[in-house]
């Protein structure tokens, strides 16, 4: 290998010889380029469903509400109500993390997720103001309009500005990553319940794996979660946006920036897969209206 000291930059031949001598560096560059070319050319992985459980129909439609949480852990195929791939280690982590040592604790966790989990009264009021304003305007309110409406309703401007900025930043990041053709400009966060509802469905399947309930009971619980949760949303896209933004808002304590979104908004790739028909995404084919 030649050093820079041995290169005569006034001589084309010397420079050429030096470049040839850096074969190891060119090999690394070539490998990196090849890797990214393969990633770019190869089609994205398809979403797989369990052949042992329905992938179409009402039961599949209802469990699909938990898609983002089920595949994120992962605990099984998205349509598997038994969370069949959870091993002993994963089960222990779930039990310790969620405090679901007993059947009663499991059911209490599901109820908490469906009702009060991750809900903050002020955040709900801010989003309600935005939704009302959107209905009056017939379009998505701009940040200044939304903020002014919150202040007019008696909200604290400084606190509201942080919330508004965080929500709009998160929406923009999801839209950018998932695709504007999927998360269109007219879709915006009206509620942050998507995250907790998705977890409630996943928690139901985890309970089956832990022996706290059977499949028949899990199906009944998942049906109730859908009945109570779906009316707050208009589509899978609306729900998925709520899930991702709700997750980021919760774990960042409502102050979202580039760093916190990168850390907690990683579910966007699963969101994209779920809504892509070519990848067999269930949200692309299953109806939102049950």
Would you say residue 278 has pLDDT above 60? Answer: yes
Q: What is the pLDDT of residue 41?
A: 46
> How far does the chain reach from its first CA to its final CA, in angstroms?
68
Mean pLDDT of 39-58: 81
Q: Distance between alpha carbon 73 and the CA centroid of its chain, in Å?
A: 12
Span 88-120, pLDDT tens digits: 999 999 999 999 999 999 999 999 999 987 789
Mean pLDDT of 30-50: 63
Span 246-265, pLDDT tens digits: 999 999 999 999 999 999 99
Q: What is the Cα–Cα distance from 253 to 249, expressed in whole angstroms?
A: 6
3 state DSSP class of 76 = coil
Q: What is the Cα–Cα distance from 163 to 126, expressed in whole angstroms?
A: 8
Q: What is the Cα–Cα distance from 24 to 34, expressed in whole angstroms?
A: 15
Span 147-162, pLDDT tens digits: 999 999 999 999 999 9
3 state DSSP class of 98 = helix
Confidence of residue 27 (pLDDT cuts 50, 70, 90): low
Q: Determine what percent of the chain is predicted with pLDDT higher than 90.
A: 82
Render the burial of 159-195: b for 16+ CB within 10 Å, e for the rest: ebeebbebbbbbbebbbebbeeebbeeebbbbbbbbb
Predicted TM-score (pTM) of the model is 0.84
Residue 183: which of 247, 140, 145, 143 has the closest Cα?
A: 140
> In 27-119, at which residue ranges do the beta strands (DSSP E only) sit?
none
Would you say residue 236 has pLDDT above 90? Answer: yes
């Amino acid at each position: 290998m030649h050093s820079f000291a041995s290169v005569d930059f006034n001589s084309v031949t010397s420079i050429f010889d030096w470049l040839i001598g850096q074969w190891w560096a060119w090999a690394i560059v070539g490998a990196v380029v090849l890797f990214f070319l393969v990633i770019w050319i190869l089609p994205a992985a398809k979403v797989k469903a369990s052949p042992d459980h329905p992938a179409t129909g009402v039961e599949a439609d209802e469990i699909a509400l938990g898609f983002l949480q089920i595949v994120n852990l992962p605990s099984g195929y998205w349509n598997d109500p038994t969370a069949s791939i959870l091993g002993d280690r994963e089960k222990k982590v779930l039990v310790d993390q969620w405090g679901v040592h007993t059947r009663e604790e499991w059911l209490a966790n599901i109820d908490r997720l469906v009702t009060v989990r991750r809900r903050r009264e002020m955040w709900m009021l801010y989003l309600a103001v935005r939704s009302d304003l959107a209905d009056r305007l017939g379009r998505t309110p701009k940040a200044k309009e939304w903020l002014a409406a919150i202040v007019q309703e008696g909200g604290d401007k400084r606190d509201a500005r942080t919330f508004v900025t965080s929500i709009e930043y998160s929406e923009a990041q999801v839209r950018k990553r998932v695709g504007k053709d999927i998360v269109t400009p007219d879709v915006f966060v009206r509620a942050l319940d998507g995250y907790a509802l998705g977890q409630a469905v996943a928690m139901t399947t985890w309970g089956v794996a832990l022996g706290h309930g059977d499949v028949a009971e899990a199906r009944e619980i998942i049906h109730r979660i859908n009945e109570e949760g779906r009316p707050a949303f208009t589509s899978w896209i609306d729900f998925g946006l709520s899930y991702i933004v709700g997750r980021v808002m919760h774990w960042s304590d409502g102050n979202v920036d580039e760093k916190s979104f990168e850390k907690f908004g990683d579910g966007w790739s699963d969101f994209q897969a779920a809504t892509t028909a070519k990848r067999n995404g269930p949200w692309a084919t299953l109806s939102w209206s049950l």
